[in-house]
Amino acid sequence: MSMVLLAIMSLTTTPARAAAPGDVVSAQPTTVYLLPGKLLEVPVNAWHLRYNSTSATGSVNTVSGTLLVPKSGYPLGARPIIGYAFGTHGLGDQCAPSVSMSQGREAELALVSLFLLKGFAVAMTDYEGLGTPGLHTYMAGVSQGHAVLDSIRAASRVSGAGLSSQAPVAVMGYSQGGASAGWAAQLQPTYAPELRLRGVAAGGVPADLHAVAAHLDGGADFGLAAAAGVGLDAAYPELDLEADLNDRGRALLADAADDCVGDLSKLAGLRFADLSPIDLMNQPKWLARLGQNRLGAVAPRVPMFLYHARGDQIIPLAVGSTLRSEYCRAGVNVRWTALPAPDHVTGAIEGGPLAIEWLALRVYGLPAFGNC
């Protein structure tokens, strides 16, 4: 009899499915606010998510994020889902966008709200290691692109959110978010081909991290370059950054390892040469990983809106225009806008609404016209 029971059980028991990218680990209702002091609650249904994604080296990880869904119905079919990629917040868990939104101190919610007013749902990743155990893999583009795409997958799987896996999808980001959006565009055809991606808007894109690091070396924003070194080291253990630093470098970067973006100004004026006795960025192991995280080698299959401030002091305009040229040569449908903005932050303010309107037209199914 026991053998018969075992045979029956073997026929009726379904093997447990392995964790897949975009699977929801947890979805807890939350509240987000536009102003500090938890003032002016954003009138949406909101969830704090933990979901499965994929690291830069291909291992399964768990990433956190926030999903916002308007309370009103959407009259035009499946509600669109926007994957919104935030700009640099810092390296510590307390810097995560999910935390800042819950405390009413998230400036980028002003742009996110423009999507919500159109009735779109917005999925926002915190990125790998920012708000979850482990180190934040800051500026590891492959990991960031995965996190964005999987936040959209997760959004459609949240019980009670009313979102469909067949929904039209778009992605937007600026600065770190611009790189993340670009990587999402490049990775989507092979990593998340089922997503109905209609367009990607990427602004102030640090497409070439080696060029950006060289530009920031010794300048007021050197802390961002140092943070990227810490983030890439977290993504790729063979880089072993600590072993190549001098005592001063080890102390400074250990102190910065949980800083938010505003605190990184304490590294202003430093150079990589102050932190290490060797030419770090030109070591073969660094050149290899920086090359793998350089945007432009793979052509996205969806229309792209690229925008960049002419006066960008952090990400040189030439870095953005080079990405535009490489995509154009590869046949990508690119709309490029060089903004009159005098600096990096103003570029986000000037370009954000333009990008949102461009993306909305793609979601609605209108054709995109490039200017290559």
The correct answer on CATH 3.30.70.270 for the domain covering 24-208+297-363 is no
Q: Is the pTM of this model over 0.85?
A: yes
pLDDT of residue 247: 97
CA distance 47 to 155: 9
User: Which residues, other chains included, contact 112 with Cβ-Cβ below 8 Å and sequence gap of 6+?
Assistant: 68, 84, 122, 124
Distance of CA 345 to the CA centre of its chain: 17
Average pLDDT value for residue range 293-300: 98
What is the spatial distance between Cα 365 and Cα 110, in angstroms, rounded to a whole number?
Answer: 25
24-208+297-363 shares its CATH topology with 216-291: no
Q: Residue 263, Cα to own-chain centre: how many angstroms? A: 21
Q: Which residues contact 171 (CB under 8 A, 6 or more apart)?
A: 82, 83, 84, 85, 148, 152, 181, 184, 185, 197, 199, 200, 201
Give per-residue pLDDT as tens, 216-262: 999 999 999 999 999 999 999 999 999 999 999 999 999 999 999 99
Sign of the dihedral through C-alpha 259, 260, 265, 269: positive
Spans of all domains in the chain: 24-208+297-363, 216-291
- Among the listed residues 108, 170, 126, the one whose alpha carbon sits nearest the alpha carbon of residue 352: 108
- CATH number assigned to the domain with residue range 216-291, chosen from the 4 options 1.10.260.130, 2.60.40.10, 2.40.50.140, 1.20.810.10: 1.10.260.130
pLDDT at site 311: 98
